[in-house]
Structure 1
């Protein structure tokens, strides 16, 4: 979790001053309903449920770095980063938040048309505490990223261009979402 926390802090530090002010406003006005400067578990659950997001207590626990049962602004920035970056992954077996190295089914990651992945924590994968299709090949997330890049680079030039265009579209849409996410809540968007 510490690596994700560091990435989130770096991401936040590179936001414009306007986006940082919007983030603080969203924290104070949208999430911190009782105005105590912290987000408790009830406020966290209420916020995630309003947009039909999955609510798992293991993420709240992982975010609560100091273990005081609430999230301060800095801890909430990590939640925002996780949601925006797509890092909100949970073990399909035990529902643990996947903060570090985890294993993914290669076929589900690369070939599943539904964009669904089958991800497992090291304990569930190593302990064979899961059931999945018989021919499943699992790779850790770092190997999967490296191998995916290698496969993309080995593709014929036209296919590689198509892939890069898709990635550019995803990056552009993500930029729009992140930009929208920092607009005041009156427009229907929020940072957190």
Structure 2
């Protein structure tokens, strides 16, 4: 909610309105399918593959009922907007601790290529550079 608190009034209004649009039955929760359909329509799932989205949605769904309240929705939105770090080419989990980054990619372009330790150890990735540190 720190992200939301620091948005402008207009941005907060837009975020709340989008949440209300996604709340298809007015119960102040957003269902996974409604949010997934919205992201697909807007092209966001090109940025975050469906398996990554589902994994994150499940982690944020505190009671396991397949829905998000407003606070969880804001967290998911914030992470999808590029703030989350994923084992993108490997298993697709969100990276929470130690991970490996391709230093060559970062130094060359400022973009990163991250992997979890398990995917790196098991060689579960395809990348043009062989050094990750």
TM-score (normalizing by structure 1): 0.55
For the aligned residues, what is the CA RMSD? 2.5
User: Deviation digits for residues 78-105 of structure 1, max 9, x if unmatched?
Assistant: 1221133x12443111111234442211
Return the alpha-carbon distance in structure 2 between the equivalents of residues 25 and 80 of structure 1.
14
Corresponding residue for residue 37 of structure 1: 28
Larger helix percent = 1
Q: Are residue 47 (structure 1) and residue 35 (structure 2) matched?
A: no
Corresponding residue for residue 122 of structure 2: 128
Rate the CA distance shift 1:37–1:130 in 2: closer, same or farther, 3 A: same
Q: What is the DSSP-based 3-state SS (H/G/I as helix, E as strand, rest coil) of the residue aligned with 1:103?
A: strand
Corresponding residue for residue 78 of structure 2: 81
Give the drift of 1:59: 1.9
Q: What is the DSSP-based 3-state SS (H/G/I as helix, E as strand, rest coil) of the residue aligned with 2:101?
A: strand
Q: 2:32, 2:67 within 8 Å by CA — same for their partners in 1?
A: yes
Aligned pair partner of 1:90 in 86, 90, 98: 86
How many residues are aligned here? 126
Q: 2:119, 2:125 within 8 Å by CA — same for their partners in 1?
A: no
Note the residue ranges of structure 2 that are not aligned, 5 or more in a row.
none
Give the drift of 1:70: 0.9
Rate the CA distance shift 1:42–1:135 in 2: closer, same or farther, 3 A: closer
Give the drift of 1:73: 0.4
Corresponding residue for residue 132 of structure 2: 138
Q: 1:63, 1:75 within 8 Å by CA — same for their partners in 2?
A: yes
Give the drift of 1:64: 1.7
Q: Are residue 106 (structure 1) and residue 97 (structure 2) matched?
A: no
Corresponding residue for residue 145 of structure 1: none
Return the alpha-carbon distance in structure 2 between the equivalents of residues 105 and 63 of structure 1.
28
Q: Are residue 15 (structure 1) and residue 10 (structure 2) matched?
A: no
Return the alpha-carbon distance in structure 2 between the equivalents of residues 11 and 134 of structure 1.
35
TM-score (normalizing by structure 2): 0.76
Return the alpha-carbon distance in structure 2 between the equivalents of residues 74 and 40 of structure 1.
14
